[in-house]
Amino acid sequence: MPEGPEIRRAADGLAEALCHRPLTTLWFHTAALNRRAKALRDQTIVAVRPWGKALLTEFESGWQIYSHNQLYGRWMVVPSGTRPETKRSLRVVLENDEAAALLYSASDISVLAPGEWQTHPFLSRLGPDIFHPKTTPALLRRRLGSSRFARRPLGALLMHQPFLAGLGNYLRSEILYAARLHPAVRAGDLDRDGAGRLSRAMTQLAERAYRTHGETAPKSWVRARLRLGEGWQQARHWVFEREGLPCPSCEAPVTRIPFDGRRLYLCTLCQEAPA
């Protein structure tokens, strides 16, 4: 499933294609959504924003289209009047004179009146978006210290969207490695230094992955691994999908473990398990 950085890049592409241009086509795959969308006719899209792994396409009146790609959904932006050849099911068409934004295969789509996001069954449970300007390391330190999250192990907490929306499996492994923290450590057991390292790693690595189209390791590390013959998918990370390869710091082999139902990668020497 795409994580926050990938969803933010998708939002950027949709905004560039759609914002402030009159729509020529507004179509949904169900009659119920099309009836609901009558309120959007003759309106202009003013913003496309990510919220965790969801997208909110906002119209000038404050109405919004909510969409979540889940595992199989995908937005495509193509020239106006064209449709790509694909076996995917078309769910949404937003088209103007220059471009068409087409959502395929997604099953979680809503048309929301102003303020309805507050009672939406998914959006109402989300924590702050990792890329929101107000999501700072200071805010994340406060959330880590909250009694609401204190008993959760970090390996589960970083995937818990009500804590922070937008983190997923590759970011979880990379953030914990960067912060030198074991996934079994509980949020409430972090000292000030550990909470600071983790909070900075969350914002910094998500931003790096956004800017570099998915790289969490520094550019110098990625280039060195590529020169050694590694593929980009493996070279772009410190530990994720690098089971058995040397830790970048201590050269002990990277370990893969199941944690909270998903695979997690770590260095057991650099990320010491709690007693």
Residue of 165, 67, 62 whose CA lies nearest to 116: 62
Let me know if 16 is a catalytic residue: no
Q: What count of Cα atoms within 13 Å lies in the side-chain half-sphere of residue 155?
A: 21
- Structure tokens, 158: 């970083």
Cα gap 184→95, rounded to integer Å: 47
Let me know if 2 is a catalytic residue: yes
Contact 175, 163 (CB under 8 A): no
Cα gap 113→123, rounded to integer Å: 14
Per the DSSP assignment, residues forming a β-bridge with 45 are 59
What number of H helices and E strands is found in the chain?
8, 10
- Structure tokens, 34: 């099309």
Q: Greatest CA span in the chain, whole angstroms?
A: 62
Catalytic residue from among 35, 125, 219, 262: 262
Catalytic residue from among 8, 49, 53, 242: 53
What does each C-alpha distance from 232 to 55, 84, 124, 264 come to in angstroms?
27, 27, 37, 19
- Structure tokens, 13: 């592409």
Let me know if 53 is a catalytic residue: yes
Let me know if 134 is a catalytic residue: no
* Catalytic site positions: 2-3, 53, 262
